[in-house]
């Protein structure tokens, strides 16, 4: 059996069922048992730090650290920064005329803010839930580092968007929008820097995910677990496919690998 010392968990669709307000009881119990057994636990999410306080489903559940913005901003529970990588400002300047002309709604995400150029029917609920508003994104690009974009557009428009935003890539965990990262970005960067800080190897990590943005993380970790509700690409990348998030999938997998 692998010597697993660290576990990384996506949030949406993995820890938290889509549309739910609380984690399944079996998931909460499994996380507590895992930590009691000495395995360090980490969030690995596409969400930025500014979103997490609004995600009350995680209230009271301890984690040792956070891989946020798909690996672009990673830190320990005490706030120690482990890794950060932002999008080149020149690429963002190139993008602005295109999203203005096409009237695309894009969230510009920094360490402690998410500012939209405009909010439309696609992004309205998202922005309202997280209390995000619109503003002068051109000025914000110059003043602050932008680690990620939340681009509200269908998959078939991703290629054109990326053509207008050089040296970036798109990952998706929601049908409504994709996350835009610097080229070479992704959750494995966060895992690598977190594990290095702990003095661990990737073989000592297990990762859980369900979305397109989890594919490279599942491939990177010593053990990659896809939820039963995962997309086909995540399942193909995984070493093990467990039950759905709503059917005790996380607990089932941890038991399967003898970790709880």
Digitized pLDDT (tens) for each residue of the chain, 260 residues in all = 579 999 999 999 999 998 899 999 999 999 999 999 999 999 999 989 988 988 899 999 999 999 999 999 999 999 999 999 999 999 999 999 999 999 999 999 999 888 999 999 989 888 887 778 888 999 999 999 999 999 999 888 999 999 999 999 998 877 888 999 999 899 999 999 999 999 999 999 999 999 999 999 999 999 999 999 999 999 999 999 999 999 999 999 999 999 99
* CATH number of the CATH domain containing 125: 3.30.1240.10
Q: Is the same domain home to 95 and 160?
A: yes
Domain check: are 177 and 234 in the same one?
no
Q: Is residue 26 part of a domain?
A: yes
Element (H, E) at 209: strand 205-209
Do residues 146 and 224 share a domain?
Answer: no
Between the alpha carbon of residue 15 and those of residues 153, 157, 162, 166, 170, the distances in Å are: 25, 29, 30, 33, 23
Residues 6 or more apart in contact with residue 163 via CB below 8 angstroms: none
Q: Which of 182, 202, 230 is the last residue of a domain?
A: 182
pLDDT value of position 1: 52
Q: What is the pLDDT of residue 175?
A: 80
E strands in 37-182: 40-44, 65-68, 73-76, 81-84, 105-109, 114-116, 148-152, 168-171, 178-182
> 68 and 191, same structural domain?
yes
- Residue 71 included in any domain: yes
CA-to-CA separations, 58 to 61, 117, 143, 250, in angstroms, rounded: 6, 29, 31, 15
Q: Are residues 143 and 194 in the same domain?
A: no
Do 35 and 114 lie in a common domain? no
Residues 167 and 222 in one domain: no
| Strands ordered across the beta sheet of 6-9 | 81-84, 73-76, 65-68, 40-44, 6-9, 205-209, 223-226, 240-241
Number of domains in the chain: 2
Task: Supply the range of the domain harboring residue 173.
Answer: 89-182
On whether residue 1 sits in a domain, the answer given is: no
Among 127, 156, 182, residue at a domain's last position: 182
Q: Same domain for 80 and 114?
A: no
Statement to judge: residues 96 and 221 lie in one domain: no
State the pTM of this model.
0.90
Predicted confidence at residue 106, as pLDDT, reads 95
Instruction: Report the alpha-carbon distance of residue 18 to residue 168 in Å, rounded.
Output: 27
Q: Last residue of some domain: 146, 165, 182?
A: 182
Are 198 and 244 in a shared domain? yes
| Same domain (yes/no): 200, 242 | yes
Same domain, 107 and 163: yes
């Amino acid at each position: 059996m692998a010597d697993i010392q660290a576990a990384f968990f996506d949030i949406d669709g993995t820890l938290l069922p889509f549309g739910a307000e609380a984690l399944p009881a079996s998931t909460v119990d499994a996380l507590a048992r895992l930590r009691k057994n000495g395995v360090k636990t980490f969030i690995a999410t596409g969400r930025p730090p500014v979103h997490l306080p609004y995600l009350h489903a995680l209230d009271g559940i301890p984690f040792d650290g956070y891989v946020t913005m798909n690996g672009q901003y990673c830190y320990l529970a005490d706030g120690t920064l482990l890794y950060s990588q932002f999008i080149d400002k020149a690429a963002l300047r190139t993008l602005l005329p295109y999203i203005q002309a096409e009237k695309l709604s894009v969230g510009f995400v920094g360490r402690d803010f998410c500012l939209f150029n405009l909010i439309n029917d696609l992004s309205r609920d998202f922005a309202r839930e997280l209390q995000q508003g619109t503003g002068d994104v051109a000025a914000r690009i110059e003043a602050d580092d932008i680690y990620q974009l939340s681009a509200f557009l269908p998959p078939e428009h991703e290629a054109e968007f990326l053509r207008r935003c050089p040296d970036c890539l798109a990952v998706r965990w929601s049908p409504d929008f994709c996350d835009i990262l610097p080229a070479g970005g992704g959750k494995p960067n966060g895992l690598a820097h977190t594990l290095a800080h702990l003095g661990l190897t990737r073989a000592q990590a297990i990762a859980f995910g369900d979305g397109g943005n989890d594919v490279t993380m599942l491939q990177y970790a010593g053990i990659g677990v896809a939820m039963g509700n995962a997309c086909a690409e995540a399942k193909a990348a995984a070493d093990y496919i467990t039950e759905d998030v709503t059917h005790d999938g996380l607990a089932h997998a941890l038991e399967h690998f003898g970790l709880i």
